[in-house]
Structure 1
Amino acid sequence: MRASDRAYATLRQEILDGELEPGSLLGEVEQAERLSLSRTPLREALSRLIADGLAVQAAGRGTVVSSISAEDVDLLFELRLPLEVQSARLAAERGDPQRFATLADRFAAAESTLQVSADSPADASAGSPAAAPDDTQYYDLTAELDEALSKAAANPYLSHALRSMRAHLVRARRLAQHEPARLQASAREHREVCLAIASGDPETAGAAMLIHLRRSHAYITAQHERS
């Protein structure tokens, strides 16, 4: 892997994971030293992050991680709805039914696990609610679904557009800090999407995806308004 590609992949993932928060300075000298590479490939990586919309040039500061607001979320969902719905429809027409049936089973299992977390009583001895579960595995599963949808749709232009958009939505989702009850509902909605795709019914698959996206948008918007 080229040095610029490695730097781009590392910085992109750190931004998506929230390790580099909005407004974080991506100084050339500091980042080049941290990533053990020269400034030329680092500049190439920063240029790609700017093209992705994950970083911006701030006057008087240099390159910083871009912010994401409630208005940005609204704009992203304006684009996301038609693209994801079409992706689900195409997957139902072109995809491997068994792969999506297997994913449906895994989302059902995730829903059961999240149900336990959502129903956990408060810690009476500490006088505080039970700790939220580690949602990393659940989000890894949703990423698998995204990959399966892209492969099944078999449209590289659609896949490219979705990859760019999903990166921003990962950040919006992390800032919203999903609660166990919402994650449980999300798992159920994803299961319905997978079952519809596995059945080979594009209309039902598109409708199931649309329901999930509208509920996700409403939840993220509400969380941003509270913060």
Structure 2
Amino acid sequence: MRASDKAYAMLREDIVEWRLPPGTVLGEVEQSQRLGVSRTPLREALARLTADGLTAPHNGRGVVVTPISPETVLALFELRQALECQAASLAAVRGRPEIFRGLRSDFQEAAARLDADPGEDPARRGYYALVARLDAGIDEAAANPYLAQALVNVRLHLARVRRLAKDNPARLRETAGEHATIAAAIASGDPALAAAATKVHLHKSLEHFTTVNHP
């Protein structure tokens, strides 16, 4: 792995996991020493993070981790709805039903595990891995590389927002059911139903974020 790729991957993970929270200034000298890379590959990594929207230039001294506000989350969900509803619709037309029937069953089992082990990290990790499988399955079935690439950036920001949303076991169980419904709708081959199921899930997710952060 190139030094710039290594630095980019490490910094991106630190930002998404909130080890580098919004407002953190990433100076070239400090970060090159911390990551063990020279300043040239570090600059390349910082430029990529800025292109992703995770950082922004800061007074000529490196970059700063971008903030997350209710307004930016709303804008993100507006874009997410347009992209994910379209992807689900295309997947319903182009995808293999048996794949999504299997995913529906997996989400039903995940909901049961979350019921049995509320708040347990293994159940949560398994659930998020399953969500990633559904995302990958929809991307592959939709068979639109431009749409898939647009979703990559949206999901990157969503991973950071998820930490802010303070997911709880009750909400995770709800989302497991919502994802099972999306998978079933795609498996049915009905594009309108798949888009509608996705829209309901996104509405509830945004509502949860708003409630948690603005009680």
Encode CA deviations 1:169-227: one digit per residue, 9 max, x unaligned.
1111110111111100000000010111122221111111111011111111111214x
Q: Which residue of 1 aligns with 2:94?
A: 94
Tell me the percent identity.
52
Report deviation, 1:53: 0.6
Q: Which amino acid aligns with 1:182?
A: R
Q: Which amino acid aligns with 2:187?
A: A
> In the alignment, is the contact (CA less than 8 A) between 1:88 and 1:202 conserved in 2?
yes
Q: In structure 2, what is the Cα distance between the partners aligned to 1:174 and 1:100?
A: 27
Q: Which residue of 2 aligns with 1:123?
A: none
Q: Which amino acid aligns with 1:219?
A: H
Q: Which residue of 2 aligns with 1:152?
A: 141
Name structure 1 gaps, 5 residues minimum.
119-131
Report deviation, 1:157: 0.9
> In the alignment, is the contact (CA less than 8 A) between 2:87 and 2:142 conserved in 1?
yes
> In the alignment, is the contact (CA less than 8 A) between 1:110 and 1:138 conserved in 2?
yes
Is 1:38 the equivalent of 2:38?
yes
Q: TM-score, normalised by structure 1?
A: 0.88
1:189-208 mapped onto 2 (5 Å cutoff): 189-208=178-197
Report deviation, 1:117: 4.2
Moved more, 96-105 or 173-182: 96-105
Q: 1:60 to 1:37 in 2, by over 3 A?
A: closer
Q: Which amino acid aligns with 2:97?
A: P
Q: Which residue of 1 aligns with 2:120?
A: 133
Report deviation, 1:61: 5.4
Moved more, 86-95 or 4-13: 4-13
Q: Which residue of 1 aligns with 2:113?
A: 113
> In the alignment, is the contact (CA less than 8 A) between 1:73 and 1:221 conserved in 2?
no
Report deviation, 1:62: 3.3
Is 1:209 the equivalent of 2:198?
yes
* Counterpart selection for 2:170 from 181, 188, 192: 181
Q: Which residue of 2 aligns with 1:129?
A: none
